[in-house]
Amino acid sequence: MLRRTLDHGLLSEARELKLLDHHLWGLLHFKTSAFDFVGEIASGSALLVGEGNLSFTQSLTRKNRIDPRNLTATTFEPHSELTDETQARAAKLKRLGVNLLHAVNATNLAASLGLRSYNSIIFQFPHTGSREPANGRNPNFVLLYRFLKSAKGHLRPNGKIFVTLVNSSHYTGAFQCEEAAKRAGLQPPEVYAFDPKAFSGYEHRMAHEDAGAIQHHRQFSTWVFRK
Ligand SMILES: C[S@@+](CC[C@H](N)C(=O)[O-])C[C@H]1O[C@@H](n2cnc3c(N)ncnc32)[C@H](O)[C@@H]1O
């Protein structure tokens, strides 16, 4: 069907079909079985990248099962560029024993982390904040693929990478998780429902907007990648 659409010169329709194709892949592989995200994070050392306002990390420290000393939380922005509120949250997390690092690029973790490895590596709602194609590809696909490739080198044996996204054809089409995994040399991902209500105080913010994605969307998925 995609080929026939392309043969007829219907490029925008073909693009739409491709988006739907990725969304259908996610729906077909969606696991309805229970997924214990907190249990996974609690089971060993965890690295969080692109943490933005650090509210997801803070919500994890409120879970009894999680020892804050096993968490390494990182922001892409240098410390000086964080808001006063986020700097205050960072100081609070540090006092709880969380290891905090700033100016960490998820696509080049070795530059900040050297050879350190983790049981879980987590990126909640990755987004470049841009829609400009990079090398002819969606920039968010490029961010995800490069992050997976970099994170793969910092996983302990049986370690897992977790990426949470809005569950819509727009987002799954932009990130193309199954293709990013294949390119990064990882197994096909599994997809589970993500419930933000289970993480009290988590205030997810869109990359360049004030409005939070959680308020604007209803369904979210956590994609789980393994070597
Ligand atoms: C939509 S926000 C999500 C923030 C946070 N994870 C949350 O769930 O609230 C996207 C985040 O991705 C980060 N980001 C973009 N490119 C990145 C990169 N190359 N490495 C690390 N983080 C990056 C941004 O700084 C921003 O904080």
Domain extents in the chain:
2-225
Q: How far apart are CA 203 and CA 214, in angstroms?
A: 8
pLDDT tens digit sequence for 159-180? 999 999 999 888 888 999 999 9
Nearest CA to ligand 1 atom 7: 204
Nearest CA to ligand 1 atom 14: 50
Nearest CA to ligand 1 atom 4: 52
pLDDT at 204: 76
pLDDT at 29: 67
Residue 26 CB less than 6 A away from ligand 1: no
Q: Which atom of ligand 1 is nearest to the CA of 146?
A: 19
pLDDT at 68 over 50: yes
Residue 60 CB less than 6 A away from ligand 1: no
pLDDT tens digit sequence for 179-194? 999 999 999 999 999 9
105 Cα to the center of ligand 1, angstroms:
9
22 Cα to the center of ligand 1, angstroms:
22
pLDDT at 141 over 80: yes
- Please state which of the four CATH numbers 3.90.1150.10, 3.40.50.2020, 3.40.50.150, 3.90.1150.50 is assigned to the domain occupying 2-225: 3.40.50.150
Q: How far apart are CA 176 and CA 184, in angstroms?
A: 12
26 Cα to the center of ligand 1, angstroms:
22
Q: How far apart are CA 44 and CA 133, in angstroms?
A: 37
pTM for the whole thing? 0.88
Residue 165 CB less than 6 A away from ligand 1: no
